[in-house]
Amino acid sequence: MVPSRRPWNLGATPSLRGLWRVGRAREPEPGMARPAPASPAARPFPYTGPGRLRTGRGRDTLVSSDEDSSARSAARPALAQCRALSVDWAGPGSPHRLYLTVQQALLDKGCENKSQGTKEEKLPKRQAPAPRRDREAQEAGGTMNVEKTGGRLFGSGRCSSLGGPPGAAPMVHRMVEAMSQLQEEKARLQEELAAMQERLALQDSDQQATSTQPQNQVENLKEKLISQAQEVSRLRSELGGTDLEKHRDLLVAENERLRQEMRRFEAELQELRAKPAAPCTGCEHSQESAQLRDKLSQLQLEVAENKGMLSELNLEVQQKTDRLAEVELRLKDCLAEKAQEEERLSRRLRDSHETIASLQAQSPPIKYVIRTVEVESSKTKQALSESQARNQHLQEQVAMQRQVLKEMEQQLQSSHQLTAQLRAQIAMYESELERAHGQMLEEMQSLEEDKNRAIEEAFARAQVEMKAVHENLAGVRTNLLTLQPALRTLTSDYNGLKRQVRGFPLLLQEALKSVKAEIGQAIEEVNSNNQELLRKYRRELQLRKKCHNELVRLKGNIRVIARVRPVTKEDGEGPDATNAVTFDADDDSIIHLLHKGKPVSFELDKVFSPRASQQDVFQEVQALITSCIDGFNVCIFAYGQTGAGKTYTMEGTPDNPGINQRALQLLFSEVQEKASDWEYTITVSAAEIYNEVLRDLLGQEPQEKLEIRLCPDGSGQLYVPGLTEFQVQSVDDINKVFEFGHTNRTTEFTNLNEHSSRSHALLIVTVRGVDCSTGLRTTGKLNLVDLAGSERVGKSGAEGSRLREAQHINKSLSALGDVIAALRSRQGHVPFRNSKLTYLLQDSLSGDSKTLMVVQVSPVEKNTSETLYSLKFAERVRSVELGPGSRRAELGSWSSQEHLEWEPACQTPQPSARAHSAPGSGTTSRPGSIRRKLQPLA
Ligand SMILES: Nc1ncnc2c1ncn2[C@@H]1O[C@H](COP(=O)(O)OP(=O)(O)OP(=O)(O)O)[C@@H](O)[C@H]1O
């Protein structure tokens, strides 16, 4: 009976290919557990370690690689009937286990050995997975079909994934059945054995060749492994891990040595600092010492920097050492892997040899082994290629590590150089420090010597001085003995003076009393002298006034002066504009007029040429103004034909004022001078007489006609009811008053120039004074009159209103002439009332008044007839004598009540207030001007 052949699936048999997959991540086969981690503790199998032999009975026998075969040989007898041999590979990757199970009992003794019972026999029969294993083996290219002769090969540790849970009853039964089947096939196998032996003999030669090939490959692999191991060791020596360590150790030692040196330097520095400072300041050595100290501090700084650099280098060396240790560790791992691989291969080789040997002994197994070796040969090739790839990878890593090590060597080199530099610097610093220390010592030595020398000298000097002091002391003692009597005398003197000082306040009081009495007497004498001087002063003042008045009287109460204006553009050119007036070089009171070819001369009080200034003219009239302060009435006329310069002389120009403003300035300054003795009040009125109508230029209603009346007190004085009177205290007040009067005139008349030429303008200044000491009251009135033009009617050929104006002017001027003529002839009746002008000026023209007429003369030829008329009139006036001047002064004649009654219409609003409320105050005007003339339009 030919037993049925059942193919044995060897696909799951651990092969060399599987063994070479150590350490490689591999996906588990379907239905198999994922490979366990590399840690031995975490492995699913009991870790057996390298070379651990596991028997099928679960006992492990630890063997070395050398002992492997012997251990296995020793273990083999224990597996007499059913032997399970397993070799555990404990590489870093997933463990693989090879089970070579040879059931010798099935091969040699048959089924009767079954009764001895081994654990392996009780293992579940693995029939079901066999086809799948065949497939897997076929896929791996290593499928081998053998007859079921009792040989069994399967992967240990995968029982649960192959058929069912180990120890399960159905599986055991199936195993038993299989074993019985195997026994039944015993005979068949024996037959087959014979056939196989025959075939084996035939295939002997082929077998030899086939068996030597894998052996050679294994040998080659072994050699390669050895060479790789050598290469690794060589690389390790080349990498210089030991050198690096040596470098590191050297650096650490160097660092430690430098630190110790630093500590020593610092201690020395501390000692040097602790030493007392040299007493010599400012000497050469101290400066040098300071420099050395500075240098030392710099060196310390540098040393500190070097320390920092050293610490950085240490850190760097430490890092590199760590990296080196890592590399070493990895190399060790690699070497361990290599060793294990090598061991495994050698073991595999031995196993192969054994297998071959056993196969050679038994023809069927030999065939099986030969085929297995064939399969393994291809797997070994693959493993070799993988090993080569891995070797390549390791070489790359080694190259990288070599590169890193080279860099580290360079860094170490630079560190070494830096350390050498630092060491050189430190040596230099040390030498400098030593030098400085030596210098310091020398310096201290010299200082010590200096100090000793100085002490000796000082001691010698002190001895000499002590000697001198002793001598002086002896002299002082002798002096003291001689001075004692003098001291006693001085003490007695001091006591005497002390007693005198005690009585000194009494004496002082008496002396003060007498001095006070003398001072009081002196003050009384001075007061009486002052009174006497005051009396004399007043007497002298009166005398001065008398003299002044006498002077004025001698000059004449009516004085006439002439002023010739210069030729102006208005005079035109040609023969009419030629000069017809000449002067006497020797007599300033003579004026010559060339009239119709005949020279006519006139004698007046004074004649002013065109060159005379305003101040020159005022100089002549200021004596009159001063007499006004003394209580005299004064009247100053400006007479002459139109355009002869009357307004110029009386009012002047803003920058060159005339008599009006200068007179008021003089009045204010005189009043100021006498303010200590007199109280003066100055009031101002302004009026105009036009066509025999008197108008108030400062009133609220300038068009109102004013009348001149007698005072009702029966004093015979005249007054003008409604005539405004402003009290002024400064030139500014005067200017404001004139401004207001000018505004009134411009409001009333459109052609002011014409009007002003045809009217008389009067500025009436009243000065009232009270003598503070005597109570004497004085009143003086200053009339400043700018008369209208004196042209004759017939010559001017005027008609209508002009004729009427001329008639009024001539009437008033002739009335003035009549009054003056009456005064000259001393007539009983003086016709003051013939005109408003003479009537208003009655006070100033009567016997106690002073009159000055300024005759304005045009120098040009065309005006000679009028000039002749004016000069004749002036000469006639000059001949009048008003009689002795008298003052309007009464001792306590009128009280303030009487003053008010005498001036019933007196209004004394504040000029400033009036000036501000005046309409048209913005009109341009000349200060101190009542009778303004605007320039005719071209
Ligand atoms: N002494 C002088 N020096 C320079 N210029 C003068 C002098 N006298 C008069 N004038 C000029 O002559 C011109 C006429 O003078 P002013 O108006 O004073 O004459 P008047 O006699 O006042 O005339 P009226 O009768 O029209 O008022 C003015 O331009 C004036 O500046």
Residue type (1 letter), 811: K
Mean pLDDT of 168-194: 64
Q: How many whole angstroms separate alpha carbon 667 and alpha carbon 661? A: 10
Mean pLDDT of 760-778: 88
Q: pLDDT tens, 384-395?
A: 888 888 888 888
Closest atom of ligand 1 to CA, residue 789: 25
What pLDDT was estimated at residue 427?
86
Long-range contacts of 317-321 (CB under 8 A, 24+ apart): 317/247, 317/248, 317/251, 317/252, 317/412, 317/415, 318/248, 320/244, 320/248, 320/408, 320/411, 320/412, 321/244, 321/245, 321/248
Q: From the CA of 860, how far away is ligand 1's center (Å)?
A: 13
Proportion of the chain above pLDDT 70, given as a percent: 62
Q: How many whole angstroms separate alpha carbon 777 and alpha carbon 783? A: 20
Q: How many whole angstroms separate alpha carbon 350 and alpha carbon 356? A: 10
Q: Which two tokens stand for residue 630?
A: 């003394």
What pLDDT was estimated at residue 874?
87
- The number of CA neighbours under 13 Å toward the Cβ of 700 is 7
Mean pLDDT of 254-258: 80
Closest atom of ligand 1 to CA, residue 614: 1
Q: How many whole angstroms separate alpha carbon 440 and alpha carbon 655? A: 94
What pLDDT was estimated at residue 868?
92
Cβ–Cβ under 8 Å, residues 720 and 867: no
Residue type (1 letter), 816: L
Q: From the CA of 816, how far away is ligand 1's center (Å)?
A: 22
Best CA proximity match to 648, nearest among 532, 563, 529 = 563
Best CA proximity match to 90, nearest among 48, 27, 34 = 48
Whether the predicted pLDDT of 152 surpasses 50: no
Q: Best substitution site from 561, 581, 648, 931 to test ligand 1's pocket, by max atoms within 8 Å of Cβ?
A: 648
Q: From the CA of 680, how far away is ligand 1's center (Å)?
A: 34
Residue with CA at minimum distance from ligand 1 atom 18: 645
Q: Which two tokens stand for residue 22?
A: 């150590």
Q: pLDDT tens, 19-49?
A: 333 333 344 444 444 444 334 333 333 333 3
Q: Which residues are annotated as a binding site for ATP?
A: 640-647
Looking at this predicted complex, what is its ipTM?
Answer: 0.98
Whether the predicted pLDDT of 601 surpasses 50: yes
What pLDDT was estimated at residue 593?
92
- Bridge partners (DSSP) of residue 782 are 634, 765
- Alpha-helical regions (H) of 91-185: 104, 130-139, 159-162, 169-184
Residue 579 DSSP one-character state: B
- Ligand 1 cavity residues, CB under 6 Å: 565-566, 568, 640, 642-648, 756-757, 789, 856, 933
Q: Which two tokens stand for residue 237?
A: 């020596």
Q: What are the Cα distances from residue 361, in Å, to 201, 364, 517?
A: 12, 9, 176
What pLDDT was estimated at residue 890?
34
Best CA proximity match to 411, nearest among 313, 323, 324 = 313
Task: Label residues 83-116 b or e (16+ Cβ within 10 Å = b).
Answer: bbbbbbbbbebbbbbbbbbbbbbbbebbbebbee
Mean pLDDT in the chain?
Answer: 71
Best CA proximity match to 153, nearest among 126, 121, 113 = 126
Best CA proximity match to 165, nearest among 131, 199, 126 = 126
Q: Best substitution site from 565, 689, 856 to test ligand 1's pocket, by max atoms within 8 Å of Cβ?
A: 565
Q: pLDDT tens, 540-558?
A: 877 877 776 666 666 557 7
Q: Best substitution site from 570, 617, 647 to test ligand 1's pocket, by max atoms within 8 Å of Cβ?
A: 647
Q: How many whole angstroms separate alpha carbon 248 and alpha carbon 416? A: 10
Angle of helix 204-239 relative to helix 363-502, nearest 10 degrees? 10
Q: How many whole angstroms separate alpha carbon 284 and alpha carbon 551? A: 101
Residue with CA at minimum distance from ligand 1 atom 27: 757
Report which secondary-structure segment, H or E, holds 594. Answer: strand 590-595
Within a 10 A sphere around the Cβ of 561, how many other Cβ atoms? 21
Residue with CA at minimum distance from ligand 1 atom 9: 645
Within a 10 A sphere around the Cβ of 506, how many other Cβ atoms? 9
Cα dihedral 472, 477, 482, 486 sign: positive
Q: Which two tokens stand for residue 761?
A: 């303008």
Whether the predicted pLDDT of 566 surpasses 90: yes
**Contacts of residue 110, Cβ cutoff 8 Å, sequence gap at least 6:** 183, 186
Best CA proximity match to 182, nearest among 121, 236, 245, 252 = 121
pLDDT band at residue 794 under the 50/70/90 scheme: low
What pLDDT was estimated at residue 237?
63
Residue type (1 letter), 181: Q
Residue with CA at minimum distance from ligand 1 atom 16: 645
Residue with CA at minimum distance from ligand 1 atom 26: 757
Q: Could you write out the DSSP letters of every residue in 636-674?
A: EEEEESTTSSHHHHHTEETTEE-HHHHHHHHHHHHHHHG
Closest atom of ligand 1 to CA, residue 644: 21
Residue with CA at minimum distance from ligand 1 atom 28: 645
What pLDDT was estimated at residue 933?
36
Long-range contacts of 596-602 (CB under 8 A, 24+ apart): 596/864, 600/868, 600/871, 602/562, 602/871, 602/872, 602/874, 602/875
Q: How many whole angstroms separate alpha carbon 732 and alpha carbon 927? A: 9
Residue with CA at minimum distance from ligand 1 atom 11: 645
Residue with CA at minimum distance from ligand 1 atom 25: 642
Best CA proximity match to 84, nearest among 116, 112, 50, 121 = 121
pLDDT band at residue 772 under the 50/70/90 scheme: confident
What pLDDT was estimated at residue 300?
82
* 752: helix, strand or coil: helix
Surface-to-core class of residue 866, CB atoms within 10 Å of its CB (0-12 exposed, 13-18 middle, 19+ buried): buried
* 574: helix, strand or coil: coil
pLDDT band at residue 631 under the 50/70/90 scheme: confident
Q: How many whole angstroms separate alpha carbon 10 and alpha carbon 146? A: 9
Best CA proximity match to 890, nearest among 772, 775, 752 = 775
**Contacts of residue 301, Cβ cutoff 8 Å, sequence gap at least 6:** none
Cβ–Cβ under 8 Å, residues 86 and 351: no
Q: pLDDT tens, 209-244?
A: 555 565 676 677 777 777 766 776 666 565 555 566
Cβ–Cβ under 8 Å, residues 857 and 644: yes
Surface-to-core class of residue 832, CB atoms within 10 Å of its CB (0-12 exposed, 13-18 middle, 19+ buried): buried
Q: From the CA of 147, how far away is ligand 1's center (Å)?
A: 172
Q: What are the Cα distances from residue 654, in Å, to 668, 739, 754, 895?
A: 19, 12, 21, 39
Cβ–Cβ under 8 Å, residues 36 and 25: no
Q: Which two tokens stand for residue 600?
A: 């006519």
- Say how many residues make up the chain: 938
What pLDDT was estimated at residue 814?
86
Q: Best substitution site from 563, 568, 755, 858 to test ligand 1's pocket, by max atoms within 8 Å of Cβ?
A: 568
Q: From the CA of 652, how far away is ligand 1's center (Å)?
A: 9
Q: pLDDT tens, 331-357?
A: 888 888 888 888 888 888 888 888 878
Q: How many whole angstroms separate alpha carbon 128 and alpha carbon 299? A: 89
Question: What is the end-to-end Cα distance of the chain in Å, rounded?
Answer: 176
Q: 117 — alpha (psi -120 to 50), left (phi > 0) or beta?
A: left
Closest atom of ligand 1 to CA, residue 931: 27
What pLDDT was estimated at residue 171?
52
Residue 32 DSSP one-character state: S
Whether the predicted pLDDT of 833 surpasses 50: yes
pLDDT band at residue 768 under the 50/70/90 scheme: very high
Q: How many whole angstroms separate alpha carbon 82 and alpha carbon 122? A: 10
Q: How many whole angstroms separate alpha carbon 704 and alpha carbon 17? A: 154
Proportion of the chain above pLDDT 90, given as a percent: 12
Mean pLDDT of 809-832: 81
Strands 151-152 and 96-102: antiparallel
Q: From the CA of 601, how far away is ligand 1's center (Å)?
A: 23
Q: Which two tokens stand for residue 787?
A: 């008369």
Whether the predicted pLDDT of 162 surpasses 60: no
- The segment with the largest mean pLDDT, out of 111-115, 321-325, 358-362, 762-766, is 762-766
What pLDDT was estimated at residue 218?
65
Cβ–Cβ under 8 Å, residues 406 and 242: no
Cβ–Cβ under 8 Å, residues 565 and 859: yes
Q: From the CA of 764, how far away is ligand 1's center (Å)?
A: 22
Q: Which two tokens stand for residue 904?
A: 């019933």
Whether the predicted pLDDT of 248 surpasses 60: yes
Q: Which two tokens stand for residue 377?
A: 């040969």
Closest atom of ligand 1 to CA, residue 564: 1
Q: pLDDT tens, 673-706?
A: 888 888 999 999 999 898 889 988 888 887 888 9
pLDDT band at residue 298 under the 50/70/90 scheme: confident
Q: How many whole angstroms separate alpha carbon 549 and alpha carbon 884? A: 9
